Chains A and B, each alone.
Chain A
Amino acid sequence: MAYKHYILVCGGTACESNKGAELFNRLNAEAEKQGVKDQVQIVKTGCFGFCERGPIVKVLPEDSFYVSVKPEDAQEIIAEQIIKGREVKRLLYSDDETAVKKDILAVEDIPFYQKQFRVVLRNCGAINPENIDEYIAREGYAGLERVLFEWNQEQLIEEVKKSGLRGRGGAGFPTWLKWDLARKAVGDVKYVICNADEGDPGAYMDRSTIEGDPHSVIEGMITAGKAIGSNQGYVYIRAEYPLAIERLKIAIDQAREYGLLGKNILNSGFDFDIEIRLGAGAFVCGEETALLTSVEGARGEPRPRPPYPALKGLFGKPTVLNNVETYANIPQIILNGAEWLSSIGTERSKGTKVFALGGKIKNTGLVEVPMGTTLREIVEEIGGGIPNGKRFKAAQTGGPSGGCIPAKHFDIQIDYDNLTAIGSMMGSGGLIVMDEDNCMVDIAKYFLDFTVDESCGKCTPCRVGTKRMYEILERITNGNGKPEDIGKLEELGYYIKENALCGLGQSAPNPVLSTLKYFKDEYEAHINDKKCPAGQCKALLNYEILQDKCKRCSVCVRVCPTGAIEGTVKNPHYIHTEKCIKCGACKEKCKFGAIVVR
């Protein structure tokens, strides 16, 4: 059957939850109703990355890029474009934020995509992740020819080494070295594990990769299996990712059916199969030793290293454990050659990195950029800058394990070493942008609250130490901070870093230490002046009425839920601070701007 049009509907979690699934059904129903079912193929794809303007619909071959499409628009898309060949202009992407209404832009001109370079996400938004044929058509499983028939283990690992690929899970350990250690390790059985236990708040790169292109991860794992001599792989993924799990299951089944997983893959004599292990959503299980314990069926707690998993991992056997994004890079390296990947990026960080862009930014979404792209390019050009004309204050990378990059490092080239040098880290790829309204002490407290919750409790520095740090931060934000608190935080932070058992504890103080390094003045303002410069910490705010602006209308008196404002019409109004709960209702209602927060 020859289709004349193809409609690609984003099937990522973000768009699905924004009525994307309903839109997909409506498009199908409309195509049926209007009698063009045989002329248009409607495909549900992975994430386009442009989540801010979702649900995204792309119509080919015209390359019409529709944003914020509602289920009600289905009728028009089918009637206008599929039947009459006319684009639905009102749905096309346009840069409406700029003062001059620009002409509708072609896809390649959308600023969001211009600076991106897609290796891991190359198939996301291009193929149907539930159809193995489409992956195969885009050179999928093509690398297996070399992996299974042409190269031996040493050659394979050498290729990965030459590519310069480093672990995308955060720490940036050279992938080839892990593989080589596991290959050389003595063991009757070896394992390949994929870490899909993505837990950082606001990060969803791995979920989207599995949702949009699950076969790339499977192919990467088969390659790792061949390289170290393993026949069994596990994907450890959190149960909170139902869509990703569903698509991964479908992908594994299809690969088995085609003989790409299982016994004697493509008649090469090599056996490899993959099973899924669901995690219960504990952050610590993203740490490799805790993850292994969890896969074994025990409670997810870390254990000391060494021995490293490469030598003694799952069930005490040599194990290679990589992140989703790392595996997704592998097929491209095998296919295009090590030189291709190593030509992208910086001196010591090769290839690309996927970031989940969030926080105070216009284009929230998923972006993939070459290593060495500056933070400014990501925030201003891809992200579209900060909304409401606010000023950039800092960006947080690496989630609860990472740190803040202040405005003075706005032009930093993002790679592993540069980020570590300024006290942050690459992390798995969460990138949260903050503007002048964000209080850095509050941010540090937020992340620490997360680690206090997620600490497994096995070692004292993490279990007790993070709790003590949290208490100090709480004291500071409540206006009870003492001058010696800053020193205490630093001391505790370094102590926890040095003594905690696993990566979770060792990196837990990072958000505090990095904000202390770059925003000490904010801590001091909280402690010494009992003020929150960003106006976020409620306990430190006081509402006041400016008598010269007050028109004595008594609206605020009536709106105050606690009766904290005294005054009658035509007489002066006052706020009793001891009764005020700082809800801000009065400030919102006052038409004259007479109520201020200090």
Chain B
Amino acid sequence: MAMSLDDLRKLREAKKTDLRKREAEGKEMQVIVGMGTCGIAAGAKQTLDAFIKGLEAHNLVDSTLVRQTGCMGLCHSEPTVEVVVPGMPTVIYGKVDEKVVNEIIQKHLIGKELLSGYILDKPAADILGAK
């Protein structure tokens, strides 16, 4: 398949998103999904999938890093998700299913507004201090 200049440009844009997902550099916002046994049992894998798809759909791949972590100790409210946005308090959301994921993306990441209904906690002092 011989490409034209336009094809090359399109291919670059398409592939860039793929590659940007790998990188941490220059990404200011973070979504950290608790993937302990408790989290996975409560559906954290679906939550993670929903974030990856949702961020791509909203063109947030370049600015948001999706990470996984172990159990946050809030097993009663799994799946739990920590959201870090510069200039906003870092919060942990509980019982995050796919519906909540979409709300987090639209209200918190895009709208810069906390979702008071789902806030469970803020990270422990030592975790906050380490950042």
Q: Complex Cα distance A466/B56, Å?
A: 65
Given known pairs A257-B1, A259-B1, the reply for A127 and B35 (CB within 8 Å) is: no
Chain A residues within 8 Å of B11, by CB: 133, 136
Q: When the two chains form the complex, which single residue of B15, B19, B35 contacts A85, counting CB atoms closer than 8 Å? A: B35
0 or 1 for each of B7-34: is its CB under 8 Å from A? (1 = yes) = 0100110011011011110000000010
A142 touches B12 (CB 8 A): yes
Asked if A592 is at the interface of the complex by the 8 Å CB criterion, the answer is no
What residues of chain A lie closer than 8 Å to B56, measured between beta carbons?
2
What residue in chain A is nearest B18 (Cβ atoms)? A137
A63 within 8 A of B: yes
B120 within 8 A of A: no
Write out the residue numbers on chain B whose beta carbons fall within 8 Å of the beta carbon of A3. Answer: 21
A134 and B65 contact, CB distance less than 8 A: no
Chain A residues with CB under 8 A of B18: 137
Contact B2 A4 (CB under 8 A): no
* Interface size range on B against A: 20 to 34
Q: Is A382 an interface residue (CB 8 A)?
A: no
Counting chain A residues whose Cβ lies within 8 A of the other chain, the interface size class is 35 or more
Tell me if A176 counts as interface (CB < 8 A to partner B): no
Which residues in chain B, 38-74, are within 8 Å of chain A measured between CB atoms?
48-49, 52-53, 56, 65-70
A133 pairs with B5, CB closer than 8 A:
no
Please indicate the chain A residues that have their CB under 8 angstroms from the CB of B69 in the complex: 85-86
A84→B19 contact, CB < 8 A: no
**Beta-carbon contact of B70 and A2 below 8 Å:** no
Measured CB to CB, the closest approach of chain B to A315, in angstroms, equals 29
| B4 adjacent to chain A (CB < 8 Å) | yes
A60 touches B22 (CB 8 A): yes
Q: Which of A5, A85, A145, A258 meets B3, CB within 8 Å? A: A258
When A60-B24, A86-B70 are in contact, do A2 and B15 touch as well, CB less than 8 Å?
no
B70 contacts which chain A residues (CB < 8 A)?
A: 84-86
> Does chain A have a CB within 8 A of B36?
yes
How far does the Cβ of B4 sit from chain A's closest Cβ, in whole Å? 5
List the A side residues contacting B52 at CB < 8 Å: 2, 4
Say whether A259 contacts B3, CB under 8 Å: yes
Q: Beyond A2-B52, A137-B15, is A259–B24 a contact (Cβ under 8 Å)?
A: no
Q: Do residues A127 and B1 form an inter-chain contact, with CB atoms below 8 A?
A: no
Residues of B within 8 A of A61 (CB): 21-24, 65-67
Which residues of chain A are within 8 angstroms of B21 by Cβ–Cβ distance? 3, 6, 61
Most buried by B among A136, A148, A257, A266: A136
In the complex the two chains form, is B23's CB within 8 Å of A258's CB? no
B68 touches A4 (CB 8 A): yes
Specify which chain A residues have a CB less than 8 angstroms from the CB of B35 in the assembled complex: 83-85
The answer to whether B19 and A138 have CB atoms under 8 Å apart is yes
B59 to chain A, nearest CB (A): 15
**Does A191 sit within 8 A of B, measured CB to CB?**
no
Digitize A236-258: 1 where CB-to-B-CB distance is under 8 Å, 0 elsewhere: 00000000000000000000011
Other than A144-B8, A259-B3, give 10 A-B pairs with Cβ distance below 8 A: A2-B56, A4-B49, A61-B23, A61-B65, A85-B70, A86-B69, A133-B15, A142-B12, A258-B8, A260-B8
Q: Can you list 24 residue pairs at the A/B interface with Cβ under 8 Å?
A: A2-B49, A4-B48, A4-B52, A5-B68, A6-B22, A60-B22, A61-B22, A62-B24, A84-B36, A85-B67, A85-B69, A127-B19, A136-B12, A136-B15, A137-B15, A137-B16, A137-B19, A138-B19, A139-B12, A148-B5, A258-B3, A260-B8, A266-B3, A266-B8
